[in-house]
Structure 1
């Protein structure tokens, strides 16, 4: 771990900002004295081609996008002992901290943040980028109330080749915002980001999530088989139109969700004028696929468990091979 005052390729470290399963993020000064973020891969992943490609892709995406809610990726640095990203510094707490301290948010504030998120996500999608790891931890709320979306390490860039086993790491992150198709190991698309957007808006307005469990496996199983608790059960003051939009965005079947963030945004902006008869009122219909039999639930639970074990074995095997390389 780097200490305050240390220098890396002419960048002066101020301190550690955050640490995840795959990277460490530091606040630093660039050679001109400007505040920047330095993002390093975890030391155990150094030399791994997938990690290298992930970082290269994150810079390519950051340099391709030009939107006030998306911090710029400045450069990809290769030092003598490591590679790291240099990114624009954004001041403010994470949306996770913001939700923990303030949720449930007032409707006007929650809808304002949701509108900003949907706008930024729609911009990404229009430029061929799917984020695939949207969650409050990856969103900053600036002092002016503007949001900033971080961490494009799991993103798909249209036309780019698939990075081997990259999807696997997603299942070891926070499963609360993962769409069912991601849990099943699929690449995901625009509708996958719409699902995460719906989950985030649900949490901002209620202070909780529609699916809960004692562990990651239990939560993943809920995404695959459970019926989401209606937001108004948690917070009765939420308008029926807002609830209908949220529940449509988190349907189990991607084909039944909004097909774009702009469609989600349009309905949310006009929630008071929506024809609610066009939205399913039956919670089982909202979940998608009707009532599951006990046998179906057991089969899906077993499939999730087996998939989780295979995923863990794959990660262990890769770590073993890297260690003995």
Structure 2
């Protein structure tokens, strides 16, 4: 099985990988979402069969994965270049490198000390192999600039960025703690109350980003850090973009940008007009995984998974059916977040946060489960006979919703009058979108 390799990486480079390198490569491929663990294992099994039948040298795992169309040749070249990258001492003025924390698709992250203020930070450095490409440099700098627009307790905040000796770096707040993915990898699921607390924190982060015209586009368990003190931080703005940047959007038209298990339908389709509702969908997929231990849609390969996100004939298994300890209200909230038609999802983080607060207080969600036509009927005062209508929210809920409504100027509220000292009429809070 011969595989031609593009670029300067030769077949000899492929063969020269040691068993240790291949093991590291396997982990990197799965962590980046280039392939699933099942796909890697299937390719390894296929390679073993080939080796048993052939007297000649067997192909490498990467060659098998390319021939199986699990990886592209360009992905193979990039992986090999990174693996063969020579070590070069990292020196960034004003910072002392303390330790290597990890490696992503674009850069290596180090634990460092900012000498001027004597504090520990996270320092991300663009890979040398990518620093030769202007497009990757531009993307890396764009990530830093986008991060600098945000300042929120639930977002890993930017500190500094620059270039030193041909090395492009980006300095961030140092956050200690595991990610949601670390728990899920150990087959641990989250209790409903704790999951609601964490997801509410991420929703607050999305609200902050949305108010600044930004969408994250890669909400997933790996990008949510759970701090030791109970704090929650949303990380990795590598795919974030400005919603009103039409040129940027058009340059990515038709490209499925995101992580297959958590990507929104509109991202799968490569639409250019995606908005915060795409992040709400991805957060919903993360929420689903947290409380059920399963992703919303599985599949043998990324293409099949992404097709299921889009295909209206493929129905989501309600989370409270997989985990019967979950409340029906939680199930409604997650299902609303995961509506394939974004018009039926929460239209913004405020609405989602409101329902999450209801759940945390042991109450039913106020918005989830209401179909657009039902909400419109309520706006017009036609509550009688509307299927799915739930009357009787508390006065406290009404006041809270009304405050959010007035701030956004996009919701019309009709509040019933008190008819007697202890009798409250039915109150209808309506949303016009």
TM-score range, shorter chain: 0.7 to 0.9
Aligned to 2:296: 210
Are the equivalent residues in 2 in contact too, given 1:27–1:36 (CA < 8 A)?
A: yes
Using the TM superposition, give the Cα deviation of residue 122 of structure 1 relative to its aligned residue in structure 2, in angstroms. 0.9
In the alignment, which of 121, 129, 134 is matched to residue 49 of structure 1?
A: 134
In 2, the alpha carbon distance for the partners of 1:259 and 1:197 equals: 14
RMSD, aligned α-carbons: 2.6
The verdict on how the C-alpha distance between 1:3 and 1:91 changes in structure 2, with shifts beyond 3 A counting, is: farther
| Match in the other structure for 1:197 | 283
Deviation at 1:165, TM superposition (A): 5.3
Residue of structure 2 aligned with 1:71, choices 134, 140, 156: 156
Aligned to 1:23, which of 107, 113, 131?
A: 107
2:310 paired residue among 208, 224, 231: 224
Quick one: distance in 2 between partners of 1:174 and 1:122?
21
| Greater shift in the superposed pair: 64-73 or 3-12 | 3-12
Deviation track 1:193-241 (CA, whole Å, cap 9, x = no partner) reads: 0101111111111111110112211211111222211101210111111
The equivalent residue for 1:177 is 262
| 8 Å Cα contact 1:154/1:166 also seen in 2 | no
Aligned to 1:240: 328
Partner of residue 266, structure 1: 354
Q: Distance in 2 between matches of 1:45 and 1:245?
A: 41
* Alignment equivalent of 1:135, drawn from 220, 244, 251: 220
Alignment partners' CA distance in 2, 1:237 and 1:279: 26
Deviation readout 1:282-322 (Å, 9 max, x if unpaired): xxxxxxxxxxxxxxxxxxxxxxxxxxxxxxxxxxxxxxxxx
Aligned residues: 279
Matched, 1:35 2:123: no
**Higher RCO (CA 8 Å, separation ≥ 6 residues):** 1
What 5-or-longer segments of structure 1 have no aligned partner?
281-325
2:182 to 70, 89, 97: 97
Q: Distance in 2 between matches of 1:153 and 1:124?
A: 14
* Partners of 1:167 and 1:14 in 2: CA distance: 41
CA distance in structure 2 between the aligned counterparts of 1:179 and 1:135, rounded to whole angstroms: 11
Structure 2 length-normalised TM = 0.59
Q: Give the whole-Å Cα distance in 2 for the aligned partners of 1:113 and 1:99.
A: 14
| Contact 1:5/1:13, CA 8 A, preserved across alignment | no
